[in-house]
């Protein structure tokens, strides 16, 4: 049987790869039939906990939410973000990645960085840890959210980093806010899939935070497109519930023991 990672890699140049975030079983179960990859992202820091950055997300938080998500996934590849300060050294990174995979039963983990993290990434892959790379804007270390790849220096660094990640054995690379033409060049240059976020449709796939596309958050990022207004639906349901409770319409005998 073909592994889920091999299946994702086989989609390159054949079919666009759909990737969304999830932080709980119910959400994962709902989107599983529509996604190729479900990422338990450290974006949960701002989305769920109102943190100012992903740096405050802990390993325990990621494991807790990932355990829930795992219960809702049947078909999609499940990837978990390794949070800030959990992969600073090879031995630390390996211990933490093993812990995440063992406790959550995920299919792989995502690590931010290229050349600066390559020694750690090689060590992890040597020890059979499946890695998804992440280049461009790196939320765990970037203070200013500016698109990447417009200068010759940035362009050359991104191309170099993509090549060394591919050579190291990562199974795919997230390109965040990478200039469109460069994203296309990189996607054509490497043999593993690129997953874009704000990096145009030139990538092999796309990822967005589910809460953003459902209108549960008020994201100001240029790449976010709202596909539904779930806030409005929640408000409608809560308002109707309030009205029936106040008027004693709910609970009726039908909803009582």
Q: What is the pLDDT of residues 8-50, one digit of tens each?
A: 999 999 999 999 999 999 999 999 999 999 999 999 999 999 9
Known catalytic membership, residue 176: yes
- Nearest in space to 159 (alpha carbons), one of 140, 141, 135: 135
Average pLDDT, integer, range 135-162: 94
Quick one: how many helices (H) and strands (E) in the chain?
Answer: 10, 8
Sequential DSSP letters for 89-126: SHHHHHHHHHHHHHHH--SEEEEE-SGGGHHHHHHHHH
Cα angle, residue 45 at apex, residues 147 and 201 outer, rounded to 5°? 35
Q: If residue 18 lies in a helix (H) or strand (E), which one and from where to where? A: strand 17-21
Q: What is the pLDDT of residue 43?
A: 97
Please tell me the predicted confidence (pLDDT) of residue 1: 57
Residue 56 has pLDDT above 90, yes or no: yes
DSSP, collapsed to helix, strand or coil, labels residue 211 as: helix
What structural domains and CATH numbers belong to the chain?
A: 4-226 (3.20.20.60), 231-257 (no CATH)
Catalytic annotation, pick one of 176, 179, 218, 244: 176
Q: Quote the pLDDT of residue 162.
A: 98
């Amino acid at each position: 049987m073909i592994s889920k990672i091999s299946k994702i890699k086989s989609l390159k140049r054949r079919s666009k790869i759909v990737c969304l975030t999830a932080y709980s079983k119910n959400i994962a179960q709902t989107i599983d039939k529509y996604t190729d990859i479900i990422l338990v992202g450290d974006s949960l820091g701002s989305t769920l906990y109102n943190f100012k950055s992903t740096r405050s997300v802990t390993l325990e938080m990621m494991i807790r939410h990932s355990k829930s998500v795992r219960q809702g996934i049947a078909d999609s590849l499940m990837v978990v973000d390794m949070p800030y300060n959990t992969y600073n050294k090879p031995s630390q990174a390996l211990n933490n990645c093993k812990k995440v995979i063992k406790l959550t039963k995920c299919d792989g983990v995502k690590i931010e960085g290229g050349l600066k993290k390559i020694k750690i990434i090689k060590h992890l892959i040597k020890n059979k840890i499946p890695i998804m790379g992440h280049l461009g804007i790196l939320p765990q270390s970037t203070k200013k959210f500016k698109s990447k790849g417009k200068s010759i220096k940035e362009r050359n660094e991104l191309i170099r980093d993509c090549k060394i990640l591919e050579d190291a054995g990562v199974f795919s690379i997230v390109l965040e806010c990478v200039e469109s033409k460069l994203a296309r060049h990189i996607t054509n240059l490497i043999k593993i899939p690129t997953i874009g976020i704000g990096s145009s449709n030139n990538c092999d796939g796309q990822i967005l935070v589910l809460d953003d596309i459902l209108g549960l958050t008020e994201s100001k990022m240029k790449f976010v497109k709202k596909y539904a207004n779930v806030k409005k639906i929640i408000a409608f349901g809560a308002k109707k519930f309030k009205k029936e409770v106040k008027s004693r319409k709910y609970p009726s005998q039908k909803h009582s023991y």
